Structure 1
């Protein structure tokens, strides 16, 4: 099974640091406006959120795997709740690559697979190099087209 690019850990950890910073700013704003919240408690929450986010990023990276099989895309992910997903190519509607500003800054991309069925039925594979994301998008598109022709 294929793993994600190691830089995705920094992306996920940075997200946790931003969350910790926002919580810290909100907590210190409460202290500043006289709400009886201990400043050391706010600092402790910020530290716990930042450390937990960094640890979670490492654990997520260690679990996240995907594989393009003969008839489906198979994904394994999740730290507390492990999720194994098999997406049959016959269910694939279309495939996109996505690169947000933070992903571009780190040099990463995601592949998003949209499936038939329920609303919001999409699978994202994060933490890929732009080249790998493009190759994977094209391969998944071709396999989905082949499976559609075979189903007819």
Structure 2
């Protein structure tokens, strides 16, 4: 089983930083508008909320990283993930419609990429593998594409 690149922890921690900042600003604004609700200065409320949310977010990112695994098998792509709820996904290559590689600004900065596998079936039937080194994302995309093509049924007439 393969794991994600460790740099994904920086990406997910950056997400925790943004979330903590937004939640802290909202909490500080509430404390500013209603200063008697907590009897604490708004700046103290903002700092405390930021600290707690950021620490929890980074801890969650670490647990999320530890739970992520994937494996390219003979006939299927197997993915394990989830902190509170464990999810095991098995994608038969015969169901794969197409495979994308995505790299957002932060991912490009960190040298990471995400592979998205779109499958036949209901709307939104896709799986993503985030936190891959950029070159690994490209090779995985090509490998999954090749396996999907190989698994297509041939019409024997």
Shorter-chain TM-score tier: over 0.9
Among candidates 44, 47, 50, match of residue 43 of structure 1 = 47
Distance 1:108 1:148 in 2: 30
Secondary structure at the aligned position of 1:140 is classed as helix
Q: Structure 1 residues 98, 36: closer, same or farther in 2, change over 3 A?
A: farther
Instruction: Please tell me whether residue 13 in structure 1 is matched to residue 13 in structure 2.
Output: yes
Gaps (5+ residues) in structure 2? none
Q: TM-score, normalised by structure 2?
A: 0.89
Cα deviation 1:62-121 (Å, max 9, x = unaligned) = 110000000000000001111111000011000000001111111110000001101111
Counterpart selection for 1:95 from 92, 95, 99: 99
Q: Map of 1:3-152 to 2, 5 A cutoff? A: 3-34=3-34, 36-38=36-38, 39=42, 40-150=44-154
Largest Rg, 1 or 2: 2
- C-alpha contact (below 8 Å) 2:111/2:133 kept by paired residues: yes
Greater than 6 Å deviation, 4+ residue runs = none
Shift of 1:42: 4.2
Return the alpha-carbon distance in structure 2 between the equivalents of residues 5 and 52 of structure 1: 21
Q: Please, what is the CA RMSD of the aligned residues?
A: 1.7
CA distance in 2, matches of 1:95, 1:10: 25
